[in-house]
Chains A and B, each alone.
Chain A
Amino acid sequence: GQNIDQPTEMTATEGAIVQINCTYQTSGFNGLFWYQQHAGEAPTFLSYNVLDGLEEKGRFSSFLSRSKGYSYLLLKELQMKDSASYLCAVRESSNYQLIWGAGTKLIIKP
Chain B
Amino acid sequence: DGGITQSPKYLFRKEGQNVTLSCEQNLNHDAMYWYRQDPGQGLRLIYYSQIVNDFQKGDIAEGYSVSREKKESFPLTVTSAQKNPTAFYLCASSQGATGNTIYFGEGSWLTVV
Chain A residues with CB under 8 A of B90: 42-43
Docked CA distance A41–B88 (Å): 9
- A11 interface hit (Cβ, 8 Å): no
Contact of A31 with B104 in the complex, beta carbons under 8 Å: no
Q: In the complex the two chains form, is B102's CB within 8 Å of A100's CB?
A: no
Are A41 and B43 also in contact (CB < 8 A) when A96-B98, A97-B48 are? no
| Nearest chain B CB to A63 CB, angstrom units | 17
B88 to chain A, nearest CB (A): 8
Query: Do A42 and B107 touch across chains, with their CB atoms under 8 A apart?
Result: yes
What is the CB-to-nearest-CB distance from B96 to chain A, in angstroms, rounded to a whole number? Answer: 9
A16 to B: closest C-beta gap in Å? 26
B-side interface residues, number (CB < 8 Å): 20
The number of inter-chain residue pairs (CB within 8 angstroms) is 47
8 A Cβ contacts from B40-71 to A:
40-45, 48, 58
A30 to B97, CA, bound (A): 11
Q: Judging by beta carbons under 8 Å apart, are A102 and B40 in contact? A: yes
Mark each residue of chain A from 31 to 62: 1 if its CB lies under 8 Å from any CB of chain B, else 0: 10100000011111100101000000000000
Bound Cα distance from A99 to B88, whole angstroms: 18
- B2-33 to A contact mask, C-beta < 8 Å, 1/0: 00000000000000000000000000000000
Identify the B interface with A (CB < 8 A). 40-45, 48, 58, 88, 90, 97-98, 100-107
